[in-house]
Amino acid sequence: MTAALITLFRQAATEMSTRGHHQGHFTCPTGEVCTVGALSVAVTGNPVPAEKVDASTWAAIEYLSPRIDSNIVDEDPIERIADWNDRTSTTPSDVLAVLEAAANALEAELAEADLAAHRTFGRDETRWTKGQGVSYMEAIATVYQQHGQAAA
């Protein structure tokens, strides 16, 4: 669910803040992590994603990949993020800002869908018709589906 993805980005930022930023690999012997490593730790506890990346980490990677400035185009989203992460110009603050921006963008999408429904149908949900309630749920579900997740 999108709320879980928001939490995942924030947990990854916490992992990055706690462990430190690493470039060149998912992690190092002293525990620092790259961007993808931080996402993986937030989901699995392991900074090195499994050969088949779990669905939650993959959803976060796919959401983040087009939002970073990478020289890699039309490639594996992990490679796009790694390209950006591993640049000498990418700082820990840059990674934290991107992770927080991703969480904020998802929250904004959900808030906009919620606000649009309330503007259309009124603030008091108890007065909504069944059809209006269904429309509201469909709008929220659309946001979830855009990010490859089923609505809860």
- pLDDT tens column, 67-90: 998 888 777 899 999 999 999 999
Going from N- to C-terminal start, the domains of the chain cover: 2-146
Mean pLDDT, to the nearest integer, of 92-121? 87
pLDDT given at position 116: 77
| Predicted local distance difference test score (pLDDT) of residue 152 | 42
Q: Average pLDDT for residues 135-145, to the nearest whole number?
A: 71
> Which residue type is seen at 121?
F
Amino acid letter, 151: A
Q: Rounded to two decimals, what is the model's pTM?
A: 0.79
Number of Cβ within a 10 Å radius of residue 31: 14
Print burial letters for 62-87: b (CB count within 10 Å at least 16), e (below 16): ebbbeebebeeeeeebbebbbbbbee
Any residues with CB less than 8 A from the CB of 130 and at least 6 apart, and which?
none
